[in-house]
């Protein structure tokens, strides 16, 4: 069976995922698209042989669409996801699930009322081969109990529109999701402190930021978010346990020796760094939808948890680094697991 996917939002990541569903993943076809920019939607539709529809609601209710991909702007996600649940269609929503905890809870409640999982949230790091290997090592117990996780999330530069709260909402949110999953533990507090700011930033931005998280099990996480580091896109993660440590590998790159130097290139953006993770993410999602199974990737609950934890980090940033307790609701049995 070919899964007929309708895509809401044909901007940067929407077009990349459309290419992925069309050229990389087998078993899927993009049959409908929509965008506030109708000309852009029509151009993308023509390229892949899809129908351009006027609105997200038209697309969700189209008989040509089996499953929905939401890649529009964050504040519009909740409405589209709720409409997809109402139509009983599987929906993959790029992060964030919603921009407020209240809207995330609305999705969680609607999905539970529907009675089975329909929603997957686009936290792609869980599909990265390196993080998956780290999880296997941590889960095997060979390191003993995890105690500390050291992380860095560096972007070369960010545009003027990127503001200080986005360090948590847009950037650290990836570590927040992947570390809950890696440790199978919940984050219970957040603190954000700011060292001297780099001169290579727009004046309104606090960059870099150091984020400190604590889990229910007592693990301490330190995360450097530095989004104007200049030199490249660099993701580091090292989990320290009682009997050893495990470190995220750098992406494979040839070593070059020339002119008296031995060097390897550093990637420049997230698209290249996580290209294979995105491919795997969509292969597994399409496979689950085709089989009529529930999605196994990050759930609506994970989307809610990420939003509540980033809210706590933003509150800490805005209150000069106070430690903020994460006000998360109890996890419903519907979502299984512990984190
Ligand atoms: N997983 C990741 O690493 C990752 C990376 C980049 C972006 N994202 C997420 O993907 C989403 C889109 O980001 P982007 O960089 O592609 O943005 P973008 O601005 O390039 O594209 C968004 C598109 O959605 C359209 N749009 C907005 N609201 C709409 C609506 N209600 N109905 C139809 N179309 C609508 C806009 O016209 C635009 O063309 C964001 O939520 C972002 O956080 C995730
Ligand atoms: O939207 C992007 C994307 O999510 C990247 O993975 C992250 O490194 C950036 O900081 C963020 O702005």
Partners of residue 226 on adjacent β-strands:
154
In this prediction, residue 1 carries a pLDDT of: 82
Q: Is 270 in the pocket of ligand 2 (CB under 6 A)?
A: yes
* Residues in contact with 270: Cβ distance below 8 Å, sequence separation at least 6, in sequence order: 155, 233
Handedness of CA 170, 175, 181, 185 (dihedral sign): negative
Distance from the alpha carbon of residue 225 to the mean position of ligand 2, in angstroms = 11
**What's the order of all strands across the beta sheet hosting 324-325?**
245-247, 234-241, 146-154, 220-226, 209-215, 187-193, 324-325
- Max Cα–Cα distance, the chain, nearest Å: 65
Distance from the alpha carbon of residue 336 to the mean position of ligand 1, in angstroms = 30
Q: pLDDT in tens for each of the 339 residues of the chain?
A: 899 999 999 999 999 999 999 999 999 999 999 999 999 999 999 999 999 999 999 999 999 999 999 999 999 999 999 999 999 999 999 999 999 999 999 999 999 999 999 999 999 999 999 999 999 999 999 999 999 999 999 999 999 999 999 999 999 999 999 999 999 999 999 999 999 999 999 999 999 999 999 999 999 999 999 999 999 999 999 999 999 999 999 999 999 999 999 999 999 999 999 999 999 999 999 999 999 999 999 999 999 999 999 999 999 999 999 999 999 999 999 999 766
What pTM was estimated for this model as a whole? 0.97
* Residues in contact with 333: Cβ distance below 8 Å, sequence separation at least 6, in sequence order: none
Q: Is 11 in the pocket of ligand 1 (CB under 6 A)?
A: yes
Q: How far is CA 138 from the centre of its chain?
A: 21
For a pocket test of ligand 2, which of 151, 166, 270 has the largest count of ligand atoms closer than 8 A to its C-beta? 270
User: Which ligand is closest in space to the CA of residue 228?
Assistant: 2
Q: Is 228 in the pocket of ligand 2 (CB under 6 A)?
A: no
Main-chain dihedrals φ then ψ at residue 258, nearest 5 degrees: -160, 155
For a pocket test of ligand 1, which of 55, 71, 297, 306 has the largest count of ligand atoms closer than 8 A to its C-beta? 71
Nearest CA to ligand 2 atom 1: 170
Which is nearest to 102 in space by CA: 322, 337, 327?
327
Q: Which atom of ligand 1 is nearest to the CA of 11?
A: 21
Distance from the alpha carbon of residue 67 to the mean position of ligand 2, in angstroms = 25
Domains along the chain?
3-122+276-299 (3.40.50.720), 126-269+303-335 (3.30.360.10)
Distance from the alpha carbon of residue 122 to the mean position of ligand 1, in angstroms = 12
Q: Is 95 in the pocket of ligand 1 (CB under 6 A)?
A: yes
Distance from the alpha carbon of residue 168 to the mean position of ligand 2, in angstroms = 10
Nearest CA to ligand 1 atom 34: 35
Which is nearest to 82 in space by CA: 55, 104, 53?
104
């Amino acid at each position: 069976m070919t899964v007929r996917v309708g895509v809401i939002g044909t901007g940067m990541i929407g077009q990349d995922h459309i290419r992925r569903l069309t050229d990389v993943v087998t078993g899927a076809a993009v049959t409908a698209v929509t965008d506030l920019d109708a000309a852009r939607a029509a151009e993308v539709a023509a390229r892949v042989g899809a129908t351009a529809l006027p609105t997200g609601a038209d697309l969700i209710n189209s008989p040509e669409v089996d499953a929905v991909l939401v890649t529009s702007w964050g504040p519009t996600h909740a409405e589209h996801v709720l409409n997809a649940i109402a139509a009983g269609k599987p929906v993959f929503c790029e992060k964030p699930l919603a921009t407020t905890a209240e809207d995330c809870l609305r999705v969680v409640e609607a999905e539970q009322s529907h009675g089975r999982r329909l929603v997957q949230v686009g936290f792609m790091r869980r599909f990265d081969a390196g993080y998956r290997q780290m999880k296997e090592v941590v889960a095997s117990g060979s390191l003993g109990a995890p105690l500390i996780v050291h992380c860095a999330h560096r972007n070369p530069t960010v545009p003027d529109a990127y503001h200080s709260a986005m360090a948590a909402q847009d950037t650290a949110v990836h570590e927040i999701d992947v570390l809950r999953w890696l440790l199978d533990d919940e984050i219970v507090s957040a603190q954000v402190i700011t060292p001297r700011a780099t001169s290579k930033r727009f004046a309104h931005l606090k960059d870099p930021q150091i984020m400190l998280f604590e889990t229910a099990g007592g693990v301490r996480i330190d995360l450097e978010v530095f989004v104007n580091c200049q030199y490249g896109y660099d993701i580091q993660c090292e989990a320290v346990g009682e009997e050893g440590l495990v470190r995220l590998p750098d992406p494979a790159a040839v070593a070059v020796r020339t002119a008296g130097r031995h060097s390897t290139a550093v990637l420049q953006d997230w698209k290249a760094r996580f290209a294979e993770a995105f491919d795997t993410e969509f292969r597994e999602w399409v496979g689950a939808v085709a089989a009529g199974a529930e999605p196994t990737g990050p759930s609506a609950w994970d989307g809610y948890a990420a939003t509540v934890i980033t809210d706590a980090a933003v509150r800490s940033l805005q209150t000069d680094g106070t430690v903020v307790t994460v006000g998360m609701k109890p996890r419903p049995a519907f979502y299984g697991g512990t984190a």
